[in-house]
Chain A
C-alpha cells in the first residue's frame, strides 16, 4: 500500500469506526474495544505518512474534481503532519480516558458520544491533510457539525443553550465570512491550492488585503479570537473528554492551524509583512491574550478557567501568524503541539477530579491534592508547560514566538508574552496550591459541611458524598483509566521539551 492510500485510510478508518461503534451500541465492551482499535489503527496509518514528509516530500492524493481546478484533494506538508500526529495520538489516550470518565460518571447516550467523537477526529484529520482551502472548508464544517451533539450531550436546557451559541457562532462566521473569503480568493487568484509563498500576492489591492485578512481571521471562528470566543466557554458543558480532546486540541487547533495555513500558504508570510496588513491582527491577538487571561482569573469553575486560558493561548498562535516572521511561524506551529499536550493534561485532571470527588469549583478543592496526589502532580506539570517554564515543552514555543516578535521589531509583544506568563501563573497555580496547601485538618469539617448542604455546591455532589466521610486523608484517586492517560500526556510535555529540536527540524521547511 502506498502512502496515498494511508492518507485516505487515516480518514476513512475513523468513519468506519463510527459505523461499527454505532452497530455495537448495546454492547459497551465491544463498542469501546472498537474505539480503541480504530484509534490505534488510525494513528498507525498517520505514522506511515510521516517518513515521506520528513524526507521533504509532499504526498498528495486527489479524490474528485468538483469544479474544474477545484478538486477534493489532500496533500500532507509538515504543518498538517504535525497536527494529524497530535490529533490521532491524543485520540488513543483520550479514548482510554473516556472509558474511565464516561463509566465513572454514568453518562447516558455513550454510543452517540463515541460515534461523534470518531467522526470529529476524521474531520480533524481532513483539516490537517487538506490540499486546498475548499477541502479544508468542508472538513472544517463537518468538524463543527459532528461536535454539536457532543456539546449538547447532556440534553439539558443549559446544554441546548450552549449548543445554540456554539453552532450559531461557528456556523455564522464560517459561512458568513470564511466562505466569502474563500470564494473571493478563488475569484481573485483562480486557485485555492495551498502553495508555498502564497497565491494572493499581486492579486489584490493593498487596501483589500486587510479586508481579506479580516474575513479569514474572523471567519475561522474556531481560533476564538475575541470577540467571537464565546462559543468556547459555552462548549464546556460537554463531558470532559470532549473538552479535553476537542476543545483543547482538535477543534480549536483546527482553527489556529487553519489560520497558520492561510497565512503561510494563501497570503504568504512575506506578502503580509510587506503590506503590513496584519498589524491590526497583532494587536487584536495581543489584547485577546491578556483579556482572556484576566477573565480566566475571575472564573471559579475549573473548566471555565481552563477554557479562557485556551482562548488566551490560541491567540499566541494567531499572534505568531500575524508577526509572520520565520521564527514566529515555526514557534506558532510548535505551540500547537505544546499547548495541546499541556492543556489536555489540565482538562484530564479537571475531569478526574470531577469523577473522583464530584468537584467542579476551584474553591471546593481545598486539600484535595492529598487525596489525589497523582492527578494534582500531573496538573502541576501541565500548568508549568502552559505557563512556559523549562523543562517543559511550552517554554520552547513561547521562546520562538518572542524571538519572532523581536525579528519583526514589535517589542511590545514580548512584553505581552511576559505579562501573559505571569497571568498564567496567577490563574493556574492557585488550583494546585489549593489542592496541597489547604489545611488538612479543616478538610474533615468542610466535608461534613458539604454533606449537609448537598445540592448547594453542584448537582452531582450528593452522589459522591458517601465516599467523603470515610475518605479523610486516604488516597482516593480517579479510576486508573483516567489517571494513566493524564500521566501519559504530562510526560509528553517533558518529551516535547527534550525533543523539541526534532519538531523544529520537521517544521522548518514551512517557512523556507
Chain B
C-alpha cells in the first residue's frame, strides 16, 4: 500500500493511459465502458487523495522513473495543480457514466470502444498537463489531449462536426505550435525544461529579446487554446456539433486546463515581475476579457441553437477567468481560479442537460424546446438550476465567483470593471431566460410527438452537477480555500 500511495502521481496518469488501448483491445462496448469508468473513477479518487495530501503536507514532487530533475521529468503538485486535477477528473467521473446511454450510441454503437479510447486519452492528456512540472512534457500532454479531442468532436452526429473539428485542428495546432516555440526559446535561454528550474534561471528584470519572444508566443498560443476573444472562432462550432457528452466534458475541462497553462507560465515560470511589471500584460488581458464578456454574451442572446448559445456563453465566462488573472492581485487570481472550478460545474451541468434534451427531442433548437418544461420537468428543472448558477444568483456557485471577482475589482480600484461584471451578468439573464420562456411559457406545437422524461442514466449525472452547483454555492470552503492558497503561492505572498 505504501508503494502504491508513493507512486500515486504517476498512477493517476498511467492508469487511464493504459486503459485507453485496453478499450480498443477489448472492443465490446460494455467492456470498454467498464474499463473507462473504472479508470476515470480511479483517477478521481487519486486526485482527491492528492488534494488532501497537498493541503496538509504542501508541494509534492515526484521523480518519474527515479530520475531526479532537471534531468528527469518531475511531477510537481502544488495546490493549483491538485485543484485542476480535481476539476478534470471530477467532471470526467460524472461524464463517463453519462456517456453510456447518451445519444452517441445511437450512431456509433459498434465503435463505442473508439470513443472510450479517445475519451481516456483526452482525460490523460488534460490531467498530464495539470500534473507535470516539465515544460516539454506539458506540451506533449497538451497534444495528446488536443488530438483526442479532435477525434471526439468529429464523432458528432451532424456532418458539420467534421468541419468544426477540422477548424479546431488548425487553430489548436497553431496554438500548440506557438507554445512549443515558446518552450524551445525558453530552453535556449535557460538550458532546462523543468519549469521551476526555468523560473529560477530567467533574469527577473532583464529585457531579454529571446525571453520576450517566448513570452509572446506562449501567451498567444495559450490564448488560442483558451479561446480568449478574439481567438475564440473555433470554439462555438466545436461545442455545438460535438456529441453532447463531449461538449460537456470539453467545455468543463479543456479550456480550464488551458487557463491553467496561462496562469502557470505567467506567474510561476516568467514570474509576476517580468509578466506584469516589465511587460504590459495586465491591461490588454483585462480589455480582451471585458470585450469577451460583453461581445460573446450578446452574441449568445441571438443564438437559436441552445448548444451554440452555451458555447458563446463559455467564451464570455472565459473572460471572467482571464479578468481575474489580469488584476494581478491575490484576490483577483483567487477569483479567477474559483471561477475555473465553478464554471466547470455550471457548464458541465448545462451541457449534460442539453444532452438529455437532445436524447428525447432530437434537437437543441430553442423552438423545439417549447413546452419542454411540462414534458420533461426534471430535465428542465436541472437546466434552470445550472442557468441560475451561470447568471450568478446567490446560493449557487456562480454567485461566489462573481462575488470574489467584484471584490477584486473594487480592491484594485477598478470600480467601472465591477459595474461591467454586474452588467454582463444581466446579459446572461437574457439568454438563459429565452430558454426558460420557451420551455415553460410556450406550449408544444400541435402534433408534436409525445416526449417522455429523460432516462435516469442521463438525469442523475446532470443532477449531480446541479446539486454540486448549489452545494458549492453554500459551502465554499473547498474551492475558495484552495483557490486562496493557490493564489497566494502564485503571487509569492506565501
State yes or no: do A and B come from one complex. Answer: yes
B426 touches A160 (CB 8 A): no
B475 touches A64 (CB 8 A): yes
> CA of A134 to CA of B403 in the docked complex: distance in angstroms?
11
Checking B407, B411, B423, B474 against A66 with a beta-carbon cut-off of 8 angstroms, the contacting residue is B474
Q: Which residues of B contact A347 (CB under 8 A)?
A: none
> CA of A160 to CA of B404 in the docked complex: distance in angstroms?
36
A180 touches B426 (CB 8 A): no
Q: Answer yes or no: B108 CB below 8 A from chain A CBs.
A: no
Give the distance to chain B from A122, nearest Cβ to Cβ, in Å: 14
> CA of A411 to CA of B406 in the docked complex: distance in angstroms?
42
- In the complex, how many residues of chain A place their beta carbon closer than 8 angstroms to a beta carbon of chain B? 20
Q: Answer yes or no: B394 CB below 8 A from chain A CBs.
A: yes
Q: Answer yes or no: A57 CB below 8 A from chain B CBs.
A: no
> CA of A66 to CA of B474 in the docked complex: distance in angstroms?
5
User: Mostly helix, strand, loop or mixed at chain A's interface?
Assistant: helix
> CA of A331 to CA of B480 in the docked complex: distance in angstroms?
44
> CA of A202 to CA of B334 in the docked complex: distance in angstroms?
29
Give the distance to chain B from A461, nearest Cβ to Cβ, in Å: 28
Q: Which of A30-38, A170-178, A444-452 contacts its partner? A: A170-178
Q: Which residues of B contact A152 (CB under 8 A)?
A: 441
> CA of A67 to CA of B331 in the docked complex: distance in angstroms?
13
B419 touches A180 (CB 8 A): yes
Task: From known contacts A160-B441, A176-B426, infer whether A183 and B418 are also in contact, taking CB-CB under 8 Å.
Answer: yes
B474 touches A64 (CB 8 A): yes
How many pairs of residues, A versus B, come closer than 8 Å at their CB atoms? 46
Within 8 A of A (CB), among B460-481: 473-476, 480
Q: Answer yes or no: B8 CB below 8 A from chain A CBs.
A: no
Q: Answer yes or no: B25 CB below 8 A from chain A CBs.
A: no
Q: Answer yes or no: B309 CB below 8 A from chain A CBs.
A: no
A172 touches B406 (CB 8 A): no
B394 touches A176 (CB 8 A): no
- In the complex, how many residues of chain B place their beta carbon closer than 8 angstroms to a beta carbon of chain A? 23
Give the distance to chain A from B408, nearest Cβ to Cβ, in Å: 10
Task: From known contacts A67-B480, A141-B393, A176-B422, infer whether A184 and B475 are also in contact, taking CB-CB under 8 Å.
Answer: no
B475 touches A187 (CB 8 A): no
Q: Answer yes or no: B425 CB below 8 A from chain A CBs.
A: yes
Within 8 A of A (CB), among B370-389: none
Checking B395, B429, B441 against A175 with a beta-carbon cut-off of 8 angstroms, the contacting residue is B429
Q: Answer yes or no: A179 CB below 8 A from chain B CBs.
A: yes
Give the distance to chain B from A178, nearest Cβ to Cβ, in Å: 10
Give the distance to chain B from A108, nearest Cβ to Cβ, in Å: 14
Q: Answer yes or no: B278 CB below 8 A from chain A CBs.
A: no
Report A187-201 CB contacts with B as 1/0, cut-off 8 Å.
Answer: 100000000000000
Q: Answer yes or no: B410 CB below 8 A from chain A CBs.
A: yes
Nearest chain A residue, comparing its CB with the CB of B481:
A68
Task: From known contacts A160-B441, A175-B425, A176-B422, infer whether A183 and B403 are also in contact, taking CB-CB under 8 Å.
Answer: yes
Q: Answer yes or no: A213 CB below 8 A from chain B CBs.
A: no
Give the distance to chain B from A134, nearest Cβ to Cβ, in Å: 7
> CA of A180 to CA of B403 in the docked complex: distance in angstroms?
10
Give the distance to chain A from B15, nearest Cβ to Cβ, in Å: 36
Q: Answer yes or no: B400 CB below 8 A from chain A CBs.
A: yes
Within 8 A of B (CB), among A42-91: 64, 66-67, 72
Nearest chain A residue, comparing its CB with the CB of B422:
A180
Task: From known contacts A141-B393, A183-B407, infer whether A67 and B425 are also in contact, taking CB-CB under 8 Å.
Answer: no
Checking B400, B422, B473 against A179 with a beta-carbon cut-off of 8 angstroms, the contacting residue is B422
> CA of A134 to CA of B394 in the docked complex: distance in angstroms?
9
> CA of A64 to CA of B395 in the docked complex: distance in angstroms?
11
Q: Answer yes or no: A415 CB below 8 A from chain B CBs.
A: no
Q: Which residues of B contact A379 (CB under 8 A)?
A: none
Q: Which residues of A contact B475 (CB under 8 A)?
A: 64, 66
A176 touches B423 (CB 8 A): yes
Q: Answer yes or no: A475 CB below 8 A from chain B CBs.
A: no
Nearest chain B residue, comparing its CB with the CB of A183:
B406
Checking A134, A137, A187 against B407 with a beta-carbon cut-off of 8 angstroms, the contacting residue is A187
Nearest chain B residue, comparing its CB with the CB of A167:
B433
B422 touches A67 (CB 8 A): no
A138 touches B422 (CB 8 A): no
Report B398-423 CB contacts with A as 1/0, cut-off 8 Å.
Answer: 00100110110011000000110011
> CA of A138 to CA of B423 in the docked complex: distance in angstroms?
19
> CA of A186 to CA of B474 in the docked complex: distance in angstroms?
18
Nearest chain A residue, comparing its CB with the CB of B423:
A176
A172 touches B426 (CB 8 A): yes
> CA of A67 to CA of B400 in the docked complex: distance in angstroms?
8
Q: Which residues of A contact B480 (CB under 8 A)?
A: 67
> CA of A262 to CA of B58 in the docked complex: distance in angstroms?
44
> CA of A175 to CA of B475 in the docked complex: distance in angstroms?
23
Q: Which residues of A contact B393 (CB under 8 A)?
A: 141
10 A-B pairs in the complex with CB atoms less than 8 angstroms apart? A66-B475, A67-B400, A67-B480, A72-B474, A152-B441, A160-B441, A175-B425, A175-B429, A183-B403, A184-B410
Question: Can you add 12 more A-B contacts, CB < 8 Å, to A66-B475, A183-B410, A186-B407?
Answer: A66-B474, A66-B476, A72-B395, A138-B394, A141-B394, A152-B441, A171-B429, A179-B422, A180-B422, A183-B407, A183-B418, A187-B407
Give chain B's interface residues, CB within 8 Å of chain A: 393-395, 400, 403-404, 406-407, 410-411, 418-419, 422-423, 425-426, 429, 441, 473-476, 480
Closest 5 CB pairs of A and B: A187-B410, A138-B394, A183-B406, A64-B474, A180-B422
